[in-house]
Amino acid sequence: MPKIKVKRQSTIVDMTAMTDVSFLLLTFFILTAKFRPAQPVIIDMPSSESETVVPDNKMVISVDKEGKVYYSIDNPKVRVATLQQLIERYEKTYPSLSKLTDAQIANFANVEMLGSDINQLDQLLNMPPQEINAMHDFSGVPIDSTNNQLRDWIQAGRWADQIDKTESGTKRDDIRVAIKGDKTSSIKTIQEVIKILTEEPVNIHTFNLITTLEGPVAGGVEASPTPAK
């Protein structure tokens, strides 16, 4: 019996739908991606082989190569509450805080990093946030023994974090303190920051040191070695 030959036909796969889906996904990720905001100071961090990631809920104390100190909190809501706590608890120490308006306080939510004297906040917060975040001529947060404003910011941030936890009803960990230092920063300034953290009334003995990972896994990721104690 003769074999029946099946006529060969070319197989055509319509890729139009798959291409449309690919471009839709690509557009979605581009539009929803969050880029790292511009910071008023560039800090060239030392490298580390540790892969311990610093938690999102953190208070960062940065020290640039000139020894200037900067203060920042990731959560915008806690950031505003920090300023409110500073006003409530330290108004007598910094009388200029009483001049701040509700609009200026709300504006503070968009300030990524602070590096100025508290007494300059009244003028600073009149500026648009994008201009504040683009500034490179900050004088730094004072850490002198007679004018230790960093200590007051740290305390206000911790109180604000506790208030936010209570109001939101969340059981997250307390805000984490991290030190980010330029690899050429003065060790004396770093030591002074650590002294402020570990002495009364702050009394924080566990914190993170933010570095850049070495090797191909780094990719600009911020990480920390074993928390200092």
141-173 pLDDT per residue, tens: 999 989 999 999 999 999 999 999 998 887 888
* pLDDT at site 61: 95
User: Is 180 a residue whose pLDDT tops 60?
Assistant: yes
- Rounded to 5°, the CA angle 48-51-57 comes to 105
98/118 Cα distance (integer angstroms): 12
Q: Encode pLDDT of 98-113 as tens digits.
A: 999 999 999 999 999 9
If one counts every other C-beta atom within 10 angstroms of the C-beta of residue 164, the result is: 19
H helices of the chain, in order, are: 16-32, 76-90, 102-107, 121-124, 129-133, 149-168, 187-198
Q: Cβ distance 12 to 108 under 8 Å?
A: no
CB 46 within 8 A of CB 211: yes
CA–CA distance, 37 with 39 (Å, rounded to integer): 6
**Of residues 48 and 156, which shows the higher confidence score?**
156
Residue of 58, 79, 62, 57 lying closest to 125 (CA atoms) = 79
Does position 49 have pLDDT exceeding 70, yes or no? no
